[in-house]
Amino acid sequence: MKQYSAPPSPPFAMNGGHVRMDGRDVLRGVDLVVEPGDLLAVLGPNGAGKSTLVKALLGLLPLSAGRTEIYGRPPARFRDWKRIGYVPQRLPMGGGVPATVREVVASGRIARQSRWRPPSAADRAAVDRAIEAVGLSARARDSAHLLSGGQQQRVLIARALAGEPDVFVMDEPTAGVDAASQAALAGTLGELAAAGRTVVLVAHELGPMEPLINRTVVLEHGRVARQTSTAAPAGAAAALGRAS
Amino acid sequence: MMEMLEYDFMRIALVMAVLIGLTAPAVGTFIVQRKLSLLGDGIGHIALTGIGLGLLTGSSPILGALVVSVLGAVAIEVLRARSRSGADVALALLFYGGLAGGVLLTGASGGGAGNLQSYLFGSISSVSASDLYVVAGLAVAVLGIVALFGRELFLLCQDEEVARAAGLPVRFLSVLIAATAAVTVVIAMRAIGLLLVSALMIVPVAAAQQLTRGFRSTMLVAMGIGVLSAVSGLAGSFQYDLSPGPSIVLLALAVFVVAVAGGAVLRRWRAATAARRSAEPGAGSGAQAAAGAPRTGTEAEAEVARG
């Protein structure tokens, strides 16, 4: 199947993506290609389908029409999940069994671990780095559910960081987050951009992240209403040949 | 008190109590986090049909219970995955069918009400050495699954979508945890009875989470509470001539009440330590506080472990 002349597949490519939920069309024919090195913000009003779009990109919601690919494969046949880091909107409470910050963050390594081997020194070091990157080292042994909303969001980002993926998909990382956590998030994004990582994030407003974002997609009523693309920030060298 | 060790059946029963006390809360921690606290109850109902089948066909009731309850658990998981709304009624139908089928089949096999009651509420004195070997084998299997799949099950129980986006086999893991719960029900049914079996999966976990801050520590503390209540409940029931199953469950509930009170005190103490910590100069931002603070956390954890 592999052809040496073919260009590498982009992280995400959706063509005519259509999602129906509870008898309502939430996404209506979305075309979107996310190139390596993109820092793409999905914007739009409430109910425009922003979260639905990122979940459909990951294959968490099935398409009722159209197709979508992760690195050139449909989500059901994609295997290289260690390249993907998903940051959901919130940390679910579940049945209320506590979990420490470290336990939650360490679970982000799972796609890189073998069931048959205990965590390696590299695993532990990656978890330490991720917790430190979001400034929660002092809270590593505390119960994640007892932290503030902004700190919980940082825990979720640290979980994705721990997996050292190529692509981050963040669903409203700034919703209900205090200014300090927003600034911390912007700092983390800047480092990811400098390292050439790809980021897709859903947001209401960009705030301190704005200068880092190099592409925006505005959704309205399940359709792409506007797309903008600015000059790539430092580090996004892979932006060569990007469709504007 | 030590005279109970002179009886063969009590020695067998005590070993069994330890195995139940270890396995039920270990599986229960995942079950509680997945909000399936009543799953064990449902499986218990379904297992009764397996016992009836085993008695009727003259094969082993434990084997019948094992096969039918694992199949039932898989069916429950499939129903849950199919539709969240319809699953509720479908589950109820499965449970009632299991209970009614069990009572009917046990009756048809000539087993009287006494036989039925021994499975519903447990009858530790009827446990034989060969039962113990089966239970020990199953307990090893359950603890092995928890050890091997624990990390994956943890993420599954935290957030199913994140688990899927990490490439985990979510459907397989969901069936695995349900089937493991079914095996645990079979492990515990002889001693505690099918109607009370799931109490030992849930109550120790509910008690432990009052005191702990982590998932692993919750599981370990719950296993400790499980062994403590199973062994002392059994010993107490022997001493005072009470039914073992209810004694064990009531003891676990007593531990829960104590843990709720203890947890309130513990949280206040932790809050006070945290306040003192943040009052120290230079501890404002998380990154700066990184160096000095973890010590207090460790001490608190040790406090919990010492009980």
The span from the CA of A202 to the CA of A171, in Å, is: 5
* Shortest distance, CA B64 to any CA of chain A (angstroms): 31
Q: Return the closest-CA partner of residue B176 out of B199, B144, B203, B201.
A: B144
C-alpha distances in angstroms, A212 versus A6, A34, A39, A149, B108?
A: 30, 16, 7, 23, 74
Residues forming a β-bridge with A68: A14
- Model confidence at B92, pLDDT cuts 50, 70, 90, reads confident
- Model confidence at A4, pLDDT cuts 50, 70, 90, reads low
Chain A residues in contact with B33 (beta carbon < 8 A): 94-97
Q: Would you list the DSSP string of A97-163?
A: ---BHHHHHHGGGGGGS-TTSPPPHHHHHHHHHHHHHTT-GGGTTSBGGGS-HHHHHHHHHHHHHHT
C-alpha distances in angstroms, B262 versus A19, B212, B253?
A: 49, 11, 14
The interface pTM score, or ipTM, of the predicted complex is 0.89
Note the pLDDT of residue B282: 45
Average pLDDT value for chain A: 88
Other Cβ atoms less than 10 A from the Cβ of A198: the count is: 25
Q: Which regions of chain A does DSSP assign to beta strands (E)?
A: 12-21, 24-34, 39-43, 65-70, 84-87, 167-171, 198-202, 215-220, 223-229
Q: Return the closest-CA partner of residue B29 out of B206, B160, B196, B159.
A: B206
Note the pLDDT of residue A27: 94
Other Cβ atoms less than 10 A from the Cβ of B8: the count is: 10
The span from the CA of B138 to the CA of B239, in Å, is: 29
Cβ atoms of A206 and A239 closer than 8 Å: no
Other Cβ atoms less than 10 A from the Cβ of B252: the count is: 27
Question: B-contacting residues of A 122-181, CB under 8 Å?
Answer: 132, 135-143, 146, 151, 159, 163, 169, 180
Q: Tell me which DSSP letter residue A172 carries.
A: S
Q: Return the closest-CA partner of residue A202 out of A26, A38, A87, A42.
A: A42
Regarding pTM above 0.90, the answer is no
Cβ distance of B161 and A104 shorter than 8 Å: no
Note the pLDDT of residue B290: 38
Overall average pLDDT of the B139-148 stretch:
97
Does any CB of chain B come closer than 8 Å to the CB of residue A118?
no
Could you say which of A60, A97, A163 has the minimum Cβ distance to residue B218? A97
Q: What is the pLDDT of residues B257-277, one digit of tens each?
A: 999 999 999 888 888 887 887
Could you say which of B148, B168, B213 has the minimum Cβ distance to residue A110? B168
Q: Tell me which DSSP letter residue A83 carries.
A: G
Overall average pLDDT of the B102-121 stretch:
81
What percent of chain B lies above the pLDDT cut of 90?
A: 50
User: How many interchain CB pairs under 8 A, A with B?
Assistant: 122
Q: What is the pLDDT of residues A15-74, one digit of tens each?
A: 999 999 888 899 999 999 999 999 999 999 888 999 999 999 999 999 999 999 999 999
